[in-house]
Amino acid sequence: MTKICVFGAGAIGGYIGARLAMKGEAEVSLVARGAHLAAMQANGLTLRQAGETQLVRPRVTDDPRTLGPQDFIILAIKAHGVQGIIGDLMPLIGSDTAILFAQNGLPWWYFHGIGGPLEGTRLESVDPGGEIWNRLGPERAIGSVVWQAAELEAPGVVAHHYGDRMPIGEPTGEKSARASLLSGLLTAAGIKSPVRPNLRNEIWLKLWGNLSFNPVSVLTGGTLVDLATDPGTRRVIRVMMEEARAVAMALGVSFAVDAEERMEMAAKVGAHRTSMLQDVEAGRPTELEALLGVVIELAGIVKIGTPSLQLVYDLCKFRCRRA
């Protein structure tokens, strides 16, 4: 049976782990910590979804050394936390272990398998010193785009709010055996995970909203619907999105929707406070580099000016540092 470890079994990781455990087609283990870990060890993991409550009891630990090498690791911690847990991942990694990165933002492996003159380019904003690239290796990476929203209601209790799509893809674009296997397991568990030949387009589609709405929410305190409907914030977000689109298109990315449609996608989510705003208010590190800093770094690579992105980044970085 395929062995899958969900490392970082909080809201999204807990949701993925619970769905896989319920289906029972893989041997699922979860790595968590603190009160959430203790609650799952004592009472199992409760998933609330679509008006139903389900309880699963996968293997749960805070010590990856007890689990041994896995076929797949689903890494569901925020991008800025990866360098700090590389050592903890090592006991889970065998010769053929693949790592699915279930994270927001532009990934550290972006220029692996892309071909052309930028092949192998390292991104300092999301992988300082190339530590992830050097120690984990981009050949292990499988990308994903997480469109679900979930929250940790209480220790041991995950509530899924919306979304059932999590497309995945190899950095090379190939439909590999390992990607097809993982896609089948996730889809059978109720998480729509087709293998995309060009996942980078969908990464940018989600990033397009996150790089603009999230930092502006930190500066204003507004919800998604607030920011999308206020004329002033909507104007700022549109300019940010157009600057970012120029960078993406210079890298060969195409967008399935225009800026107005992407803003409407955000507005339909409603009175949602972005995760970045919640992190700032809680005094936690944020995803600013993975969502916006990295786009400014890319703009330097392709030699495109992004004055609005830089302005919002500088203000947001100050706000995050003060928090």
pLDDT tens track for 180-238: 999 999 999 999 999 999 999 999 999 999 999 999 999 999 999 999 999 999 999 99
* Helix (H), strand (E) at residue 215: helix 199-220
pTM above 0.85, yes or no: yes
Mean pLDDT of 112-134: 98
Going by pLDDT thresholds of 50, 70 and 90, the confidence category of residue 323 is confident
Range in 220-224, 268-272, 276-280, 298-302 the model is least confident about: 268-272
Percentage with pLDDT > 70 across the chain: 100
Residue 301: pLDDT over 90:
yes
Q: How far, in Å, CA of 123 to CA of 94, rounded?
A: 26
Percentage with pLDDT > 90 across the chain: 97
DSSP states along 271-307: SPPPHHHHHHHTT---SHIIIIIHHHHHHHHHT---H
pLDDT in tens, 313-322: 999 999 999 9
DSSP states along 102-171: --SSS-TTTTSS--STTTT---TTTSGGGHHHHHT-GGGEEEE----EEEEEETTEEEEEE--B--EE-T
pLDDT of residue 307: 98
Q: How far, in Å, CA of 303 to CA of 183, rounded?
A: 37
pLDDT of residue 221: 97
Q: What residues act catalytically?
A: 206
Determine the angle formed by the axes of helices 177-188 and 11-23, rounding to 10 degrees: 90
In the predicted model, what is the mean pLDDT of the chain? 97
Neighbours of 315 (CB within 10 A): 14
Range in 107-121, 221-235, 268-282 the model is least confident about: 268-282
Mean pLDDT of 301-309: 98
Q: How far, in Å, CA of 236 to CA of 99, rounded?
A: 36
Going by pLDDT thresholds of 50, 70 and 90, the confidence category of residue 81 is very high
Query: What does the DSSP 8-state code read for residue 65?
Result: G
Going by pLDDT thresholds of 50, 70 and 90, the confidence category of residue 142 is very high
The structure tokens 């100050």 sit at 318
